[in-house]
């Protein structure tokens, strides 16, 4: 089975570095599945899970926006923040979710605060999903 090399990098350092059979990412235009020898492209990412398929296992990485650069033999994900399930503090994500939900209910007349709270909620829900909670 042919593989493609994947790097997930954040401003804090490398989160993932390995060879997989398929990687899927969530771009602003929707889910993108990438196999070896994919055409080159660059696309902005939204909050979502990166799925790394290798044999019968699928590893997930929680990503909070950034860019994906695809080359035929290499995928680079430059993320604003990214965590493997083992790196996710579930209690922190639960608290962030609760905070964001409260803000969404109390800031409905302020579009900027509302949008910010909505994004914070998406990040928290994504982390809980990737952590399997
Ligand atoms: P919080 O309100 O809890 O800080 P946030 O969504 O605002 O959450 P980010 O701005 O996305 O946090 O991330 C800031 C840094 O904290 C990043 O390095 C990110 O990886 C890390 N981080 C945020 N939430 C968690 C979490 N639940 N578990 C582990 N690391 C986290």
What the chain holds in terms of domains, given with CATH numbers, is 4-85 (2.60.15.10), 90-131 (1.20.5.440)
> What CA–CA distances, in Å, run from 3 to 34, 38, 130?
11, 11, 23
Average pLDDT of the residues of the chain: 95
127 C-alpha to ligand 1 centroid (Å) = 9
The stretch 92-102 carries a mean pLDDT of 97
Closest Cα partner for 104 from 91, 83, 121? 121
Which DSSP letter does residue 86 get?
Answer: G
10 C-alpha to ligand 1 centroid (Å) = 12
Q: Predicted confidence band at 128 (pLDDT cuts at 50, 70, 90)?
A: very high
Has residue 27 got a pLDDT over 90?
Answer: yes
Token pair belonging to 73:
């033999």
CA distance 103 to 43: 30
Which DSSP letter does residue 85 get?
Answer: G
The stretch 45-74 carries a mean pLDDT of 97
In this predicted model, which residue has the larger pLDDT, 62 or 108? 62
Q: Which residues pair with 105 in a beta bridge?
A: none
């Amino acid at each position: 089975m042919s593989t493609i090399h994947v790097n997930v990098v954040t401003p804090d350092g490398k989160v993932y570095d390995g060879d997989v059979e398929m990687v899927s990412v969530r771009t602003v235009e929707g889910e993108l599945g990438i196999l070896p020898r994919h055409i080159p492209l660059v696309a902005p990412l939204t909050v979502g899970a990166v799925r790394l398929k290798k044999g019968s296992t699928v590893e997930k990485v929680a990503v909070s926006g950034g860019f994906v650069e695809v080359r035929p033999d290499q995928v680079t994900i430059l993320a604003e923040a990214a965590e493997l399930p083992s790196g996710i503090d579930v209690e922190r994500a639960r608290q962030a979710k609760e905070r964001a939900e409260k803000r969404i209910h109390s800031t409905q007349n302020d579009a900027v605060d509302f949008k910010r709270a909505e994004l914070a909620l998406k990040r928290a829900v994504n982390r809980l999903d990737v952590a399997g909670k």
